[in-house]
Amino acid sequence: MKKRQIGAFWALLPVLIGFYFPVISMMIHDGLFEAVAGEFGGSSSSQSVILTTVRIATMSAVLATLVGLLDAVLLAGTRGPARVLIAGMLLATFLIPPAALASAVQGVIGSSTLRATIRDELGAVCMLAFRWAPVACAMLLGAAVLWPVQQERALRGLSPRVALFVRARCLMPQALRCVGLLVLLLISASELPSYAGVETISQRVHARLTVGDAAEGWQLALGMLVAVAPVLLFLVWKLPRSDRSQWGGTVTGLPRLRGVDLLLVIRSIPVLALVFILAVTAWPRASEMAVAGSEFIDGVVGIFQELPRAFIASSIAVICGWRLADGGHRWGLLLLCLPTVLPSSLGALALLHVVRPTLPLVLDDLPILLTLAQTCKLGAVGAAAGLVASRVIPLSESNSSRLLAPVTGRWRVRFPRALPVLLPAVVIGVALVMGEVEATLLMAPPGHPSPALELHQLLHFRNDEQAARIALLLALVGSMLAAIVVAPLRRKDK
């Protein structure tokens, strides 16, 4: 084995320990391979569910990327008031579980108003697309730092409207990868499609586990992997290398277009309306003030307890992705991406069965396995971010850094240069971990706080006011995270 491959091996350790080892052990234990020998891909109805899932995920990813691209181009290519605030608002609702949003909206305008728009596949696609569009926007805003300074200067010399179109075209390679990443992330989404009355592969896998037919569950998951293999290959394909990237796209010189300001204000209205609805629902009656206050404080404590763990899970995934991309290990990146496709509960159950019994008892009270499971789930985010970030550095600089000692060149030169892309990816990962429910329910130690899980429990029994309080807090955290992504991109010249 070559030295360089051994050097990158550690970056695969989290997915090897947290996913491949337990999952393959479970597959053998549950008799998957005998089942595959009999009938691969399950019955024709299962194949149709796989196709539906792929179709919904692809259409949602394309639509989300189009909306995100529009947002990103308008935010990155024009000057105007409160851009950071608008970007913050767009990501604000991403942290709130969809059930909370749907419940709040239904509570105010009535579900009969919505029913024409949210039922069936079209409804599922629309809801998924508008929920995930802010993620596409954040990714593409991050990608905007890839542009060479000369190109950025040339754009600012064009007429403002033409410049916007050119910017959109320049972002197309990243937008295509964004579609690929979103397909992988959306393929295991079950909550919103289920709300729209559409069955996806995650639900069918859950149903198989419920009746104790794990082998068929694994078989379906494997079928899913085969179906998305082209997307996986596309995602880890080479991106064009930049000549010279800029850090901190400056506001100076950007045009100011009144039409764009108006468009962004209109785009923000649904978010403002949602936040307003949540605030109205959350506001306690006079007799409930003390209880609501203590709930609010508990919510804040819970969220801020979870944030560091989410940050660790996301950082590990992103750093591993970058390390593999920096070394050009395309197969490693593929291995990193695969766990994203499967429902979290499958990986989590495998970890519970195979790895947990081998750990010392003292570690049971710590959310180590939960963090590992969520790190594996973020593999595709890490791989995509790593691949894009490794292209930030101009070829000449990259080659020069490789003349240094490998560790110095990698961690002292190339890694700091990749941070403008890696940081937004970490923030997106944090948002995903904060909203994750499946692995959390299966693996979180008793007493471990999980605002998203708590929110689901409250909503099921229509404790709408308490749920709205937590949802508001999550929206606030979402805004703060978005500000972290956007603020450096819009930093003014010193």
Partner 1 sequence: MARLRVWGVLLLLLIGCGGEDTRTVTIYCSHDRAHSQKILDLFERATGIEVEAVFDTEATKTVGLVQRVRGEKARPRCDVHWSNEPLHAVRLAADGFYDVLPLGAGEGIPAEWRDPDRLWCGFAGRVRVLALAPETKAIDSPPRQLSDLAMEQWRGRVAIADPRFGTTASHLAIVRSRIGPDRYRQLLESLRANDVQMVSSNSSSRDRVLSGEVWIGLTDTDDIEVVRRRGASLGEEFLRGDGVLLLPNVIAIIKGAPHPEEARELAQWLLKKEVEELLAASSSRQVPLRREALVPPTGLTIAELDPVEVDWNDAASQLAEAIREAERILLDH
Binding residues for partner 1 (CB under 8 A) = 45, 48, 97, 99, 106, 110-112, 115, 191, 194-195, 197, 199, 203, 206-207, 209-213, 345, 348-349, 352-353, 356-357, 361-362, 364-366, 437-438, 441-447, 453-454, 456-458, 460-463
User: Which residues, other chains included, contact 84 with Cβ-Cβ below 8 Å and sequence gap of 6+?
Assistant: 483, 486, 487, 490
Q: How far is the CB of 452 from partner 1 (least distance, A)?
A: 9
Contact 139, 181 (CB under 8 A): yes
Report the candidate in 156, 462, 494 with the shortest Cα–Cα distance to residue 281: 462
Cα–Cα distance, 324 to 193 (Å, whole number): 34
Phi-psi label, residue 158: left if phi above 0, alpha if psi -120 to 50, beta otherwise? beta
Q: Which two tokens stand for residue 52?
A: 């539906």
Q: Which is nearer to partner 1, 83 or 131 (CB)?
A: 131
**In the complex, minimum distance from the CB of residue 49 to partner 1, in angstroms, rounded to a whole number:** 8
Residues composing the chain: 494
For residue 45, how far is the Cα from the chain centroid? Answer: 29
CB of 371 to partner 1, least distance (A): 15
> What is the rounded CA–CA span in Å between residue 137 and residue 71?
6
* Closest separation in Å from C-beta 19 to partner 1: 15
Tokens of 489: 């991109």
Question: Rounded to whole angstroms, how far apart are CA atoms 299 and 296?
Answer: 5
All residues at 6 or more sequence positions from 37 whose CB lies less than 8 Å from its CB, including other chains = none
Residue whose CB is less far from partner 1, 151 or 463: 463
Whichever of 63 and 102 has its CB closer to partner 1, that residue is 102
Cβ of residue 345: shortest distance to partner 1, in angstroms? 5
Q: How far is the CB of 129 from partner 1 (least distance, A)?
A: 19
Give 345 or 401: the residue with its C-beta nearer to partner 1. Answer: 345
Nearer to partner 1, 213 or 397 (CB): 213
Taking the least distance from each CB to partner 1, the nearer of 244 and 356 is 356
Which residue's CB is nearer to partner 1, number 151 or number 457?
A: 457
Dihedral sign computed on CA atoms, order 459, 464, 465, 470: positive
Shortest gap between Cβ of 451 and partner 1 (angstroms)? 12
